[in-house]
């Protein structure tokens, strides 16, 4: 493999090589912004501003942050050698793992292709990127833009690309997508002993208590949920709101949707589309038999891949709507007795990528932070944490394993190698035989062991004679 040979030559470990690759990726994105915007419009009906914010701007900011800090992040960590290692020097250095395969989903075809590749290149690796075949226009533009700009090779195609890359001998797989597909990739990689980082998803809850500023909470949740037509892995999947303010919150939520997209979201230039009719059919099926009330939305146009922003009040917790990840523009709002009841609902479902809490009660926030398990925990925001360069992205349990972005990406996609160097002189031989009582006593002192030396010969192996 050409990329594998490059890594093994040691060329990619050079700091300047890494910085040059990152600069090339940045230049390609900026140069191709118009093309990428058109492609994303074709694949997902993505609004121009969403492309600027979520697909290109975030990645450019991440590259700038990584380039500023990379020399410090990749520096070897000195380790105290201690008495046993004196007079040598010890350290742990970060080496490239080799060739990293990035398997990206369709919902953010640029962001989730390029951002993991940034972490991999920063760690000194070469990269094979497989865009999703369900966003073909974006994948084609990305392949053309990157081209020879960096050692991040874009390979278009379906699942066979992953199989071929594993057969060719990649050294790490970073997968973003559904739990079912992630499980299949992990099993295939496991048969070849290839380590895998999984970024999956799950039902991310938003918890709103009575102390929250309801208009602000409603606007932020509506923006976080309905951007990209709800097709965001870290978007709030459902809202648990304290019963005493549930009606007011729901009213504020509906008002926010009208303020964002008007009375007819289908005609709004700021509202996206579902990726394809297969996905549209899956989401609309979740609206059947949920046991709640559709407060607003629910209209569809299959030819336009359009699903109106939809709010469902008080669906059954056992319904598919509350048991499966929605990944679309439908938001259940469930009234609960308080934060403890909300915590119990979250605990009954698989661990999510993110928990969002809207509250001005510091004690309640602390209880929820300590009482929930998730990849991230965020207060009075919904998905906007994705814009913070260097903030690690990763899941736990069913929502994934491992993390990337910023320094976390360097740690995940580097091989930690121990290095110990000892000078020729002085050539101390205190740990060489013959040992004797004096050496044994000195060694025990150096190792801070109490008591007297074990009598010489007491550890002699048996002779075999009876």
* Pairing, β 403-404 against β 400-401: unpaired
Task: Note the pLDDT of residue 136.
Answer: 96
DSSP state for residue 386 in the 8-state scheme? G
Q: Which residues, 6+ apart, have CB-to-CB distance to 288 below 8 Å?
A: none
Task: Note the pLDDT of residue 250.
Answer: 98
Task: Note the pLDDT of residue 448.
Answer: 82
* Helix H or strand E encompassing 236: strand 236-242
* Helix H or strand E encompassing 65: helix 58-73
Q: What is the pLDDT of residues 321-367, one digit of tens each?
A: 999 999 999 999 999 999 999 999 999 999 999 999 999 999 999 99
CATH architecture of 2-200+404-417: 3-Layer(aba) Sandwich (3.40)
Task: Note the pLDDT of residue 466.
Answer: 45
Q: What is the distance between the alpha carbons of residues 178 and 466, in angstroms, rounded to a whole number?
A: 66
Q: What is the distance between the alpha carbons of residues 454 and 216, in angstroms, rounded to a whole number?
A: 72
233 carries an active-site annotation = yes
Tokens of 1: 């493999």
Q: For the chain, what is the radius of gyration of the CA atoms?
A: 27
Task: Provide block-wise average pLDDT over 10 residues at a time, the chain (466 residues).
Answer: 86 96 95 96 96 95 97 96 86 96 96 96 96 96 84 91 94 95 95 96 94 98 97 97 98 98 97 97 96 97 98 97 97 97 96 97 97 96 92 93 94 96 84 83 82 64 52
CA distances, 277 to each of 189, 281, 370 (Å): 31, 6, 40
252 carries an active-site annotation = no
> CB neighbours (10 Å) of residue 426?
8
Reduced DSSP (H G I as helix, E B as strand, rest coil) percent helix, strand, coil of the chain, to 5? 45, 20, 35
Cα of first residue to Cα of last residue in the chain, in angstroms, is 61
Nearest in space to 287 (alpha carbons), one of 308, 256, 263: 308
Q: What is the distance between the alpha carbons of residues 450 and 461, in angstroms, rounded to a whole number?
A: 25
Tokens of 276: 């394809």
Q: Which residues, 6+ apart, have CB-to-CB distance to 138 below 8 Å?
A: 36, 39, 40, 43, 109, 110, 131
Nearest in space to 228 (alpha carbons), one of 132, 106, 143, 332: 106
Task: Note the pLDDT of residue 442.
Answer: 83
Task: Note the pLDDT of residue 245.
Answer: 98
CATH number of the structural domain 204-390: 3.40.309.10
Catalytic residue chosen out of the listed positions 233, 252, 308, 325 = 233
Please answer whether residues 330 and 351 qualify as being in contact, where contact means their C-beta atoms are separated by less than 8 angstroms.
Answer: no
Tokens of 246: 């549930």
What phi, psi does 312 have (nearest 5°)?
A: -115, 120
Please answer whether residues 365 and 359 qualify as being in contact, where contact means their C-beta atoms are separated by less than 8 angstroms.
Answer: yes
Catalytic residue chosen out of the listed positions 199, 252, 279, 325 = 199
Domain ranges of the chain: 2-200+404-417, 204-390
Q: What is the distance between the alpha carbons of residues 89 and 75, in angstroms, rounded to a whole number?
A: 15
Please answer whether residues 120 and 109 qualify as being in contact, where contact means their C-beta atoms are separated by less than 8 angstroms.
Answer: no
Q: What is the distance between the alpha carbons of residues 232 and 251, in angstroms, rounded to a whole number?
A: 24
Please answer whether residues 134 and 157 qualify as being in contact, where contact means their C-beta atoms are separated by less than 8 angstroms.
Answer: no
Its pTM stands at 0.92
Q: What is the pLDDT of residues 361-419, one digit of tens each?
A: 999 999 999 999 999 999 999 999 999 988 999 999 999 999 999 999 999 999 999 99
Nearest in space to 29 (alpha carbons), one of 53, 56, 61: 56
Helices (H) and strands (E) in the chain, counts: 18, 20
Preceding peptide of 186 cis, ω within 30°: no
Q: What is the distance between the alpha carbons of residues 349 and 260, in angstroms, rounded to a whole number?
A: 31
Q: What is the distance between the alpha carbons of residues 169 and 461, in angstroms, rounded to a whole number?
A: 46
């Amino acid at each position: 493999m050409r990329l594998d040979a490059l890594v093994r030559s040691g060329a990619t470990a050079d700091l300047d090589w890494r910085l040059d690759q990152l600069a090339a990726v940045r230049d390609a994105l900026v140069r191709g912004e118009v093309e990428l915007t058109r492609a994303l419009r074709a694949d997902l009906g993505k609004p121009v501003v969403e492309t600027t914010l979520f697909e290109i701007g975030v990645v450019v900011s991440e590259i700038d942050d990584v380039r500023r800090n990379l020399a410090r992040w990749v520096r070897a960590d000195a380790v105290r050698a201690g008495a046993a290692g004196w007079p040598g020097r010890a350290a742990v250095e970060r080496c490239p793992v080799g060739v990293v395969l990035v398997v990206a989903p369709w919902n953010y075809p640029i962001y989730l292709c390029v951002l993991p590749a940034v972490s991999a290149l920063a760690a000194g690796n070469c990269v094979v990127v497989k865009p999703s075949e369900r966003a073909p226009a974006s994948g084609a533009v990305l392949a053309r833009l990157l081209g020879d700009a960096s050692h991040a090779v874009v390979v278009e195609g379906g699942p066979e690309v992953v199989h071929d890359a594993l057969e060719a001998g990649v050294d790490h797989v970073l997968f973003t997508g559904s739990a079912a597909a992630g499980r299949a990739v992990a099993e295939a990689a496991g048969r070849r002993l290839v380590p895998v980082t999984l970024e999956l998803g799950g039902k991310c809850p938003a918890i709103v208590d009575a102390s929250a500023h309801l208009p602000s909470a409603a606007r932020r949740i509506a923006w976080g949920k309905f951007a990209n037509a709800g097709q965001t892995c870290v978007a709030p999947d459902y809202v648990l709101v304290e019963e005493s303010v549930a009606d007011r919150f729901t009213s504020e939520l509906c008002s926010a949707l009208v303020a964002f997209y008007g009375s007819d979201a289908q005609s709004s230039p700021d509202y996206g589309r579902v990726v394809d009719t297969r996905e549209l059919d899956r989401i609309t099926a979740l609206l059947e038999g949920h046991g709640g009330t559709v407060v607003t939305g629910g209209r569809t146009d299959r030819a336009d891949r359009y699903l109106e922003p939809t709010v469902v009040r008080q669906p059954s917790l056992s319904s598919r709507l509350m048991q499966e990840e929605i990944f679309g523009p439908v938001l259940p709002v469930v009234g609960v007795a308080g934060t403890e009841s909300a915590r119990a609902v979250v605990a009954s479902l698989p661990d999510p990528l993110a928990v969002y809490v809207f509250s001005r009660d510091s004690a309640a926030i602390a209880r929820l932070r300590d009482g929930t398990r998730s990849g991230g925990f965020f207060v009075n925001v919904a998905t906007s944490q994705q814009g913070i360069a260097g903030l690690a992205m990763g899941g736990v349990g069913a929502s994934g394993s491992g993390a990337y972005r910023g320094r976390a990406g360097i740690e995940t996609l580097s091989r930690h190698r121990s290095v110990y160097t000892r000078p020729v002189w002085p050539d101390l031989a205190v740990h060489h035989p013959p040992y004797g009582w004096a050496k044994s006593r000195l060694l025990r002192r150096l190792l801070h062991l109490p008591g007297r030396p074990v009598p010489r010969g007491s550890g002699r192996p048996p002779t075999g004679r009876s």
